[in-house]
Amino acid sequence: MDLDVFVTAHRAEWDRLEHLLKRGRGLTGTEADELVVLYQRTATHLSLIHSQAPDPRTEGRLTQLVARARSVVTGTRKASWRDVTRFLSAGFPAAVYRSRHWWVPTAVFSTLLAALIGWWIGTHPEVQAAIGAPDDLRALTRPGGEYEAYYSSHPAASFAAQVWTNNAQAAAMCLVLGAFFCLPVIWILFTNVLNLGVGIGLMSSAGRLDTFLGLILPHGLLELTALFVAAGTGLKLGWTLIDPGPRSRRAALAEEGRAALGMAIGLALVLFVSGVIEGFVTPSSLPTWARIAVGVAAELAFLLYVHALGGRAVRAGDTGDVAAAERATALPTAA
C-alpha cells in the first residue's frame, strides 16, 4: 500500500471527523449518523496503516481520532450498584473459578513445601543455629514470646488494617507482576512460604507447634488461599505471554490482564475479612478450637462462593473480564 496515496485519498474524511468531534453536542441527527460512519471508517483505516504501512505520525493522529470518536459514539457510563452486584456475584468468582487449575496446584505445592521446610528446620539443630542465636530463638518460641505477642502488639483495629494493607499489596503484586514471565510471582510466593516454614520449624522444635497452628489457622487459611489465588493467577498471566493459545498474544494478555486487575479488588475484600479475623479473633481469649472453627468457616464459605457462583457464571459464559461495552474497540485486521 502506498501510504501517501492512501493519506491523500482519505484525509478529507479524517478532517471531517475531527470537525464533527469539535462540534460536540451540537450535532444534528444526520451529522451524528455521519460521525458514526466516519468513526468506523477511520478505525479501519488505522488498522490498514498499522498492518501494511506503519507510520507513527499518521497512526498517532488516527488513534487519537478513533479514541475521541469512540467516547462520543459509545458515551460514558458511571458505575452503579448493579455493576458492584454483577462483579461480586459473577465477575470475581468466575475469574477465580477459571484460574483454579493454576492456584489449586500452587496452593498444594506451597503447603507441602512449607511443611517440608518446617520439618527440615525442626529436625536439624544446625539449621536452627544458622537462623539465629539460641537466646533469640527462645525469645521467639517461648510462651508469651514474640510469635504470640505479635498478634496482640497493637490495638485490634489498627493491627487488622495493617495486615490487610500488607496482604492486599502482596496479592496485587502477584497479579500485576505475573506479566513479567512469572519470576517475580515465584519469588513473592517463595518468600511467604519460607516464612511459614520457618515458623513451623522453630515452634515444632520447641514443642509448641500446636500453639503456632492455633495462631495461624484462624486467619491463615483464608489469607493464604487469597495469596495462592493471586499467585496462581499471576503465573497464568505470565504463561499467557509464552503461550496465548488460539488468541493473539495481545488480545490474550488484555483479557487475562483485565480479569487479573478485577481480581485484585475482589481479593482485597477477601483479605479484609482475614485481616479482621487476624486482628480480633486470633488474639482473642476464645478457646483454640473456636478460633480455628472461625477460620475454617471463613475458608469454606469462600470456597463454596467460588465453586457455586463462579462455576455457574463460567457455565453461562462469564470469563471474569469486564463487560463487552467497557472493553477497548477491537480494530479489524486485514487478512
More reliable by pLDDT, 154 or 141: 141
More reliable by pLDDT, 85 or 324: 85
Residue 173 in contact with residue 237, Cβ under 8 Å? no
How many whole angstroms separate alpha carbon 166 and alpha carbon 2? Answer: 55
pLDDT score, position 80: 65
DSSP 151-174: GGSS-HHHHHHHHHHHHHHHHHHH
The closest of 5, 3, 2, 280 to 160, measured between CA atoms, is 280
Q: Please, is 11 exposed, middle or buried when counting C-beta atoms within 10 Å of its C-beta (0-12, 13-18, 19+)?
A: exposed
Residue 233 in contact with residue 214, Cβ under 8 Å? no
More reliable by pLDDT, 55 or 187: 187
pLDDT score, position 333: 41
Q: Give the mean pLDDT of 168-176.
A: 86
Across 77-91, 236-250, 270-284, the highest mean pLDDT is recorded for 270-284
How many whole angstroms separate alpha carbon 19 and alpha carbon 24? Answer: 9
How many whole angstroms separate alpha carbon 219 and alpha carbon 202? Answer: 20
**Taking the CB of residue 303, how many other CB atoms lie within 10 A of it?**
15
Average pLDDT over all residues of the chain: 86
- Going 98 to 105 to 215 to 210, the CA torsion angle's sign is positive
The closest of 35, 89, 43, 34 to 66, measured between CA atoms, is 43
| Nine cell digits for residue 214 | 492455633
**pLDDT band at 150, cuts 50/70/90?**
confident
How many whole angstroms separate alpha carbon 222 and alpha carbon 229? Answer: 10
**Taking the CB of residue 116, how many other CB atoms lie within 10 A of it?**
14
Residue 89 in contact with residue 59, Cβ under 8 Å? no
How many whole angstroms separate alpha carbon 164 and alpha carbon 146? Answer: 20
How many whole angstroms separate alpha carbon 286 and alpha carbon 129? Answer: 35
Residue 318 pLDDT more than 90? no
Residue 334 pLDDT more than 80? no
Residue 329 pLDDT more than 80? no
Q: Please, is 112 exposed, middle or buried when counting C-beta atoms within 10 Å of its C-beta (0-12, 13-18, 19+)?
A: exposed
pLDDT score, position 205: 93
For the chain, what percent of residues have pLDDT higher than 70? 93
**pLDDT band at 210, cuts 50/70/90?**
very high
More reliable by pLDDT, 262 or 306: 306
pLDDT digits (tens, 9 = 90+) for 237-261: 888 888 888 877 777 777 788 788 8
Q: Please, is 267 exposed, middle or buried when counting C-beta atoms within 10 Å of its C-beta (0-12, 13-18, 19+)?
A: buried
How many whole angstroms separate alpha carbon 269 and alpha carbon 84? Answer: 12
> Which letter does DSSP use for residue 25 in this model?
G
Cα 91 versus chain centre, distance: 12
**pLDDT band at 330, cuts 50/70/90?**
very low
Q: Please, is 231 exposed, middle or buried when counting C-beta atoms within 10 Å of its C-beta (0-12, 13-18, 19+)?
A: buried
- Residue 286 C-beta-side C-alpha neighbours within 13 Å: 18
SS3 (DSSP) at 286? coil
**pLDDT band at 328, cuts 50/70/90?**
very low
